[in-house]
Copies of this chain bind each other. A is one copy, B any other.
């Protein structure tokens, strides 16, 4: 057992227990191959799906057998993992790249290192880590992955932010940096401003002295939403109806015309973003909540020189650029620790997964982001 570095006596007992369980549940032939000294994870409780379809129909919670922890592997006891819309889309199979099934759900999260393989030097039991770049299979109690996939974060990071720092905040950060050069005093415009990405855009922009013009839906509670966004640092917040005017730019007041806009809605809300853009501006689409397409006039391309682009974090994560994602994550987590980056989340015990899933699927009305707590 000299190779095992464990985070606590109880964890050690759990590990030993699991190995014993495994020994006696395996056939004698497998026993001959695997010696007792192999490092094994504890058995894991996981959300799996065997086929694509409605997530509440195809997911189930099962006990997974202990997994081998190889020399360069790290076994992480998961602490928290969100249910992101993209997780739901992946289970539905509507993403262009379908995960192989059976699969364990979840792509981001945070955990504490439980044990490390014999060749692992940079991590120790008890370290707080997140998968970085993102990787699959986070909705389970113990995850075993190669050490290269884990990124150590400061232990004083609130776990709900460590668990959610990549999918939404990194999207906001990349969109602010990858399309146009923004400098202090500039303005960006966005729709769907109450989304978590929208809230992150407001706060990251604010931390850089960049102004935001925000478009929200007309609905009960829009005044409260406006106040909430203003508290986060939004300069201007308009409902779509308020923008039903001939010249939306007259509403900019002293703010410079935006060189970039962000669209996660489509339809009229996307057209409104484009109307705010300055000559030569860019609109980046990263979502389509209204399920309506984006429509633009010929003259907006020719005379206004507008560019329409798209952003998808998964593609970015598969590019060379993702090699640099860890310092970005560290900066975002620093903002979170300083309470300069905040968004509403609901921590839900893992045992309530089905309820959290229904909330995340929108079956129970508008809900905060659901974060499973293990």
User: Is B307 a contact partner of A307 (Cβ separation < 8 A)?
Assistant: yes
Q: Find chain B residues with CB under 8 A from A295 CB.
A: 293-295
Interface residue? A306 (CB, 8 A): yes
Residue of B nearest to A304 (CB): B310
Interface residue? A308 (CB, 8 A): yes
A81-99 contacts to B (CB < 8 Å): 95-96
User: Is A312 a contact partner of B307 (Cβ separation < 8 A)?
Assistant: no
Interface flags, A273-289, vs B, CB<8A=1, else 0: 00000000000111110
User: Is B310 a contact partner of A301 (Cβ separation < 8 A)?
Assistant: yes
User: Is B302 a contact partner of A287 (Cβ separation < 8 A)?
Assistant: yes
Interface residue? A323 (CB, 8 A): no
Q: Which of B266, B284, B298, B315 contacts A285 (CB 8 A)?
A: B298
A300 to B300 Cα, complex, angstroms: 19
Q: Which of B95, B291, B305 contacts A312 (CB 8 A)?
A: B305
Known: A293-B296, A295-B293, A295-B294. A310 touches B315 (CB 8 A): no
User: Is B305 a contact partner of A315 (Cβ separation < 8 A)?
Assistant: yes
A300 to B312 Cα, complex, angstroms: 11
Known: A295-B293, A295-B294. A300 touches B310 (CB 8 A): yes
A309-364 contacts to B (CB < 8 Å): 309-312, 315
Interface flags, A89-111, vs B, CB<8A=1, else 0: 00000011000000000000000
Residue of B nearest to A267 (CB): B298
A87 to B287 Cα, complex, angstroms: 41
A289 to B102 Cα, complex, angstroms: 51
User: Is A298 a contact partner of B288 (Cβ separation < 8 A)?
Assistant: yes
A307 to B266 Cα, complex, angstroms: 16
- Identical chains in the assembly: 2
User: Is A308 a contact partner of B311 (Cβ separation < 8 A)?
Assistant: no
Q: Find chain B residues with CB under 8 A from A291 CB.
A: 298
Residue of B nearest to A280 (CB): B315
Q: How far is the CB of A273 from chain B (nearest CB, A)?
A: 13
Interface residue? A297 (CB, 8 A): yes
Residue of B nearest to A303 (CB): B96
Q: How far is the CB of A97 from chain B (nearest CB, A)?
A: 9
A298 to B283 Cα, complex, angstroms: 12
Q: How far is the CB of A312 from chain B (nearest CB, A)?
A: 5
Q: Find chain B residues with CB under 8 A from A286 CB.
A: 302
User: Is B266 a contact partner of A298 (Cβ separation < 8 A)?
Assistant: yes
Interface residue? A299 (CB, 8 A): yes
Residue of B nearest to A270 (CB): B298
A69 to B356 Cα, complex, angstroms: 82
A299 to B50 Cα, complex, angstroms: 26
User: Is B315 a contact partner of A301 (Cβ separation < 8 A)?
Assistant: no
Q: Which of B284, B296, B305, B312 contacts A294 (CB 8 A)?
A: B296
User: Is A302 a contact partner of B311 (Cβ separation < 8 A)?
Assistant: yes
Q: Find chain B residues with CB under 8 A from A299 CB.
A: 96, 288
Could you write out 20 A-B pairs with CB less than 8 Å apart? A96-B299, A266-B298, A284-B301, A287-B298, A288-B299, A288-B302, A293-B295, A293-B298, A294-B295, A294-B296, A295-B295, A296-B296, A296-B308, A301-B309, A303-B310, A303-B312, A305-B310, A305-B312, A305-B315, A307-B309
Which 3 pairs, one residue from A and one from B, show the smallest C-beta to C-beta distance? Answer: A301-B310, A288-B298, A285-B301
Extra inter-chain contacts (19) besides given A293-B296, A300-B310, CB under 8 Å: A96-B303, A266-B298, A287-B298, A287-B302, A288-B298, A288-B302, A294-B296, A294-B301, A295-B295, A296-B296, A301-B310, A302-B311, A302-B312, A305-B312, A305-B315, A306-B310, A307-B308, A307-B309, A307-B310
